[in-house]
Amino acid sequence: MLKFLIDSLDEVDASLHTYYKEVNGKFQLDVTGIRTDNDVSAVQNALNMERNDHKKTKTKLEEYAGIRSLNLSPTEILDKLDRFEELEAVSGDKIDDEKLNKMVETRIKSRIAPLERERDQLKAVSGEQAQTIGEFQTKDRNRKISDVVRQAATEQKIVPSAVEDVLMIAERSFELSEDGTVMAKDGVGVTPGIDPTVWLTEMQQKRPHWWPQSQGGGGSGGSGGSGGSGNPWSSSAWNMSEQGRVYRENPARAQQLAISAGTTIGGLKPAIK
């Protein structure tokens, strides 16, 4: 590795002597573009001086932070200073702080009044939009619940004249889960979390007139969970074969029917209520 600065040419091979030049009694590598230690030190010193000057300037400017926050141009600042001299001259070297504050407050109010009006208008529009969105969401929720309940009522063979009554009660009894599933609310007099088909099964005892006369009131006929039949897990309509069929077709609904009847899948027949 070549040394940049040597005391004697004897320190390098004779073939390299031409690459060195004598400087102040020593021999320096003569390569254009290479910076010496002195060059680097000079640049570093200049950079440090510039940084120090910048720091001093920044510290000095901190004294004018309040003026900078006004975001005024130098011309605007000078105009305000001229206005201050005018006010001072009018007041006879005695500025009335109370009057001056009142004047400032009046000017501020006049400046922000249009902004406040615009803000109030935006609030009103935003409120109307939020109300409209809420109404659409409620309508969409009710429509989804109505569609699912209406389909369940058709499968359960609800008489046409009772469908509107079914939908009206269902609107108060059901809600949409986060995944969009229609399920019974808590605290509405039915088993929480059941779907409309299981709900209709529960309602057979309370609203027998919803079904044709031969099937109302938990009458026999049809299959469990459809066609107006009773709950095959209930004490009055206990049917293990039907339980197995419902479980094979829809395990989730079978679970709901069992819970609604007061038992579990594979559990004991509930006591007669």
Distance, CA of 208 to CA of 199 (rounded, Å): 13
- Tens of pLDDT along 190-231? 888 999 999 998 888 888 899 887 654 444 333 344 334 578
> Quick one: pLDDT band at residue 160, thresholds 50, 70, 90?
very high
Q: What is the pLDDT of residue 151?
A: 93
Give mean pLDDT, residues 230-255.
86
Residue 42: pLDDT over 80:
no
Rounded mean pLDDT of the chain?
80
Residue whose structure tokens are 């027949």 = 269
The predicted model scores a pTM of: 0.43
Would you say 182 and 170 are in contact if contact means Cβ atoms under 8 Å apart? no
* Domain residue ranges in the chain: 1-50, 88-273
Q: What is the pLDDT of residue 222?
A: 39
Question: What per-residue string of b and e applies to 132-164 under the rule 16 or more CB within 10 Å gives b?
Answer: eeeeeeeeebeeebbebbbebbebbbbbeeeee
Q: Of the spans 116-120, 144-148, 227-231, 260-264, which averages the highest pLDDT?
A: 144-148
- Tens of pLDDT along 76-96? 777 777 666 566 655 555 657
Give mean pLDDT, residues 230-239.
86
Residue 115: pLDDT over 80:
yes
Residue 242: pLDDT over 90:
no
Residue whose structure tokens are 């979390």 = 193
Would you say 100 and 88 are in contact if contact means Cβ atoms under 8 Å apart? no
* 229: phi then psi, degrees, rounded to nearest 5: -80, 170
